[in-house]
Chain A
Amino acid sequence: MIRKSFLSLSGLLLAGTASADWALNMPKGVTDLSLETYNLHMMVFWWCVGIGAVVFGVMIYSLIKHRKSKGVEPAKFSHSTTAEIVWTTIPVVILVLMAVPTAETMVRMEDSRNPDLTIVVTGYQWKWHYKYQDSDIEFYSSLARSSLEARRKQSGVDPFSVDNYLLDVDNPVVVPSGSKIRLLFTASDVIHSWWMPDFAIKKDAIPGIVNEAWFRPNEVGTYRGQCAELCGKDHGYMPIVVEVVEPEAFAAWVDSRNVEQ
């Protein structure tokens, strides 16, 4: 077993150099709101960097200059009302500057009126169920077969050899690009959380409660997410895949589903 760990460790190092996966930041996503979220994240981040540079700068200067080994005599002061007013007021101003754009984004996020399409999402231990409202289309979506074998303990299958290991499903959700899509969330057993980073949506699916969220995807593509609320032993194995397709392709997909059913 140890030998195998070493093998996969060396495999990992090779893969590490090959795949350049040292991702550092949040994805910008493919909706207007995910981009706004990203921008808020970066705004607060840069404020923190700025404040950190000042505070740590002063501290490091002090650590270098104000040390006993330099023969300095310690000062005696122990308060300064002016300084304290300044460093109470400035943070308040910065916080207001952060709060205003954030609140504006939140108002937009909550506005789920007039959707083009509504999908009811139900969390189960450990899979998702999707029902397209006002249609007969409904299906379960579980971890793809390709990951099922590799995920077993000491399976002997190298996860790097599996495409989208743990992030692929048998039945992806299909939605048309450019439409306003509303999601209604609930759960049948325990609390789950439907998270799609590229849409900046994370909403808990809770038994007995219906939550909602919406997104309008701007780009076609396949987007991957995961359950984000601990829901039992296979919490790590209920991924989410959404395929955003052109409206015509979506219509064709709907027809094909209806023929199947």
Chain B
Amino acid sequence: MTAAVADAHDHHDDHGPAKGIGRWLFSTNHKDIGTMYLVFSLIMFFIGGAMAMVIRSELAIPGLQFVHPEFFNQMTTMHALIMVFGAVMPAFVGLANWMIPLMIGAPDMALPRMNNWSFWILPVAFGILLSTLFMPGGAPAGGWTMYPPLILQTGDAFPFLIFSVHLMGLSSIMGAINVIVTIINMRAPDMSLLKMPMFVWTWLITAYLLIAVMPVLAGAVTMLLTDQFFGTSFFLAAGGGDPVMFQHIFWFFGHPEVYIMILPAFGVVSEIIPTFSRKPLFGHDSMVYAASCIAFLSFIVWAHHMFTVGMPLTGQLFFMFATMLIAVPTGVKIFNWVATMWRGAMTFETPMLFSLAFVFLFTIGGFSGLMLAIAPADVQYHDTYFVVAHFHYVLVPGSVFAIMAGAYYWLPKWTGHMYNETLGKAHFWASTIFVNITFFPMHFLGLAAMPRRIPDYSTQYADFNTVASIGAIGFGLSQLLFVWVLLTSKKGEKATAEVWDNPPGLEWTVPSPAPYHTFETPPKLNESHGFH
């Protein structure tokens, strides 16, 4: 303590945040930047969600009612790009910014100015991407996977698409570097790597994945750019190029990318389930090994997205077996969460409810993933609504529910007030019911052979499409409850430092709301924080 007092007069920033817009524009504070990331992600969630509403409205009944096929394709493409890069990824970066320093006992992120930059690139990137909606030829409509030659038929939007993807990649890489440097260098002195909380661990692994694959995506889209404008033929058969090579490169990025969107979610629920089970996380170390295994495997399974491109048999077999293996570490994670609940003393506050729904529904997404791994069956599932059902199950009640769970869990720490639990539970139940009404029927549509990315369909698909559309509108409206919770979050009773019933982790040792500067002297770990 004496050291801290002696140091205090050296600090120029004991005063709180700067006043006005400058606080946000020039912020180097991990909490402010975390907040900006989270707010940005919520805005993108609603913009991407509005596009989903357009898609589901058009698909509610057969026939073309509202939009032209060109615009429909723009909506599916933009919905995916915005949800993946604008909503889910920045939300996890926001949680990382807020919570990693608090969880490891660091005063801030290691590279605060880069932190500011990596955030402020995002509004620019998405401003550019959204502006393509108003360009001649419209927004990109070739799918978020950007397969050539189709993507080269994009109108004026094409270079802007490439540029915005570059910017998103730049932002992600800088964010990832920051996370790694912070975790490696700034942990509290007693916190060995294996003592780190699971959220920190999963983010460390995620950050390495980001650094490994975002440059690959940048390379792929740059080759698209030069094919379009500089006369190269990387992917153009007429010039000796290979359209399939793009798919290999894209999915070498794309498969780790799906784990980038789910590993931090694993981390969030691994924090929440122990708290509300009042029992330590089961198998902490094996969770770490499982997450590392998943990360490693994610690099050698990419071509399971491409079982129909005409790969040799041996290639198909390799990618099928490697993909099936992922079920093992993923199973370990799910079993460990269930074992954490087993013989606990559970209560069901909103964060716990979202985490439990995550375990249930992510597992269903995992099952359909295992089915998709079986190459001959995948030939039937590929590019149908079965795939749409699968990845929405792992992304919406998977990643998005984990983000919601994390938001409710840490909201009192951020605002200093308890949110309205009744509203939170209403939000949870509405979301959970509607998300299943939306996405479960899509399994049936896919098995009955409805392709994805079509604006209109044959009449035998009408019934389940109507159900899915009703569910989607309900799910969209339910999210307004979340905004209501956030807007009223300062009205609740004052939160204690611990907020919950003796939760593990250093973040609960600082007051609520967390002061602008925390852990200016490194904390000591002890058993009451859940460290052994």
Contacts and interface: CB of A to CB of B under 8 A. Distances in A.
A193 B281 CA distance: 46
A153 interface: yes
A16 B464 CA distance: 10
Contact of B458 (A55, A166, A233): A166
A236 B313 contact: no
Interface residues of B, number: 96
Interface residues of A, number: 107
A118 B241 CA distance: 27
Contacts of B344: 62, 66, 72, 74-75
A135 interface: no
A73 B243 contact: no
A45 B364 CA distance: 11
Contacts of B308: 193, 202-204, 228-229
Interface stretch (B83-91, B191-199, B333-341): B333-341
Given A67-B345, A209-B310, A102 B376 contact: yes
A45 B356 CA distance: 23
Contact of A91 (B280, B284, B328, B451): B328
A22 B464 contact: yes
Contacts of A200: 376, 379-380
Interface stretch (B64-72, B205-213, B520-528): B64-72
A155 B77 CA distance: 26
Interface in A174-209: 185, 189-191, 193, 195, 197, 200-204, 206-209
Given A22-B464, A160-B459, A79 B342 contact: no
Contacts of A78: 279-284
A74 B451 contact: no
Contacts of A25: 444, 447-448
A117 interface: no
A225 interface: yes
A83 interface: yes
B383 A228 contact: yes
Interface string A66-85: 11110011111111100110
Contact of B375 (A12, A76, A102, A235): A102
A109 to B, nearest CB: 6
Contacts, number: 309
Contacts of B5: none
Given A48-B371, A59-B341, A158-B63, A91 B331 contact: yes
A208 B278 CA distance: 61
Given A232-B153, A236-B456, A102 B320 contact: yes
A209 to B, nearest CB: 7
A233 B310 contact: no
Interface in B43-71: 60-70
A193 B328 CA distance: 32
Contact of B324 (A5, A95, A230): A95
Nearest to B307: A202
A66 B345 contact: yes
Interface stretch (A33-41, A214-222, A242-250, A251-259): A33-41
B363 interface: yes
A110 interface: yes
Contacts of A167: 458
Interface stretch (B128-136, B139-147, B294-302, B511-519): B139-147
B277 interface: yes
A63 B66 CA distance: 45
Given A230-B150, A233-B141, A55 B338 contact: yes
B64 A155 contact: yes
Contacts of B451: 195, 226-228, 236
Contacts of A1: 65
Contacts of A68: 278, 345-347
B272 to A, nearest CB: 15
B460 A206 contact: no
B383 A229 contact: yes
Contacts of B461: 21
Nearest to B466: A12
A193 B230 CA distance: 29
Nearest to B441: A22
Given A27-B449, A59-B341, A155-B64, A15 B377 contact: no
B476 to A, nearest CB: 18
A76 B343 CA distance: 9
A211 B310 contact: yes
A234 B331 CA distance: 41
Nearest to B313: A110
A52 to B, nearest CB: 6
A98 interface: yes
Contact of B279 (A63, A75, A87, A189): A75
B463 interface: yes
A99 B143 contact: no
A45 B443 CA distance: 12
Contacts of A203: 308, 310
A202 to B, nearest CB: 5
B237 to A, nearest CB: 2
Given A78-B283, A153-B65, A197-B449, A191 B149 contact: yes
Given A78-B280, A165-B62, A109 B447 contact: no
Interface of B: 60-70, 73, 141-143, 147, 149-150, 153, 237-238, 241-244, 277-286, 308-310, 313, 316-317, 320-321, 324-325, 327-328, 331-332, 334-335, 338-339, 341-348, 356, 359-360, 363-364, 367, 370-371, 374-377, 379-380, 382-384, 444, 447-449, 451, 453-464, 466
18 contacts: A12-B62, A25-B448, A41-B377, A55-B363, A67-B345, A68-B346, A69-B347, A75-B279, A78-B279, A84-B332, A88-B328, A95-B324, A151-B456, A152-B64, A165-B459, A190-B150, A209-B244, A230-B143
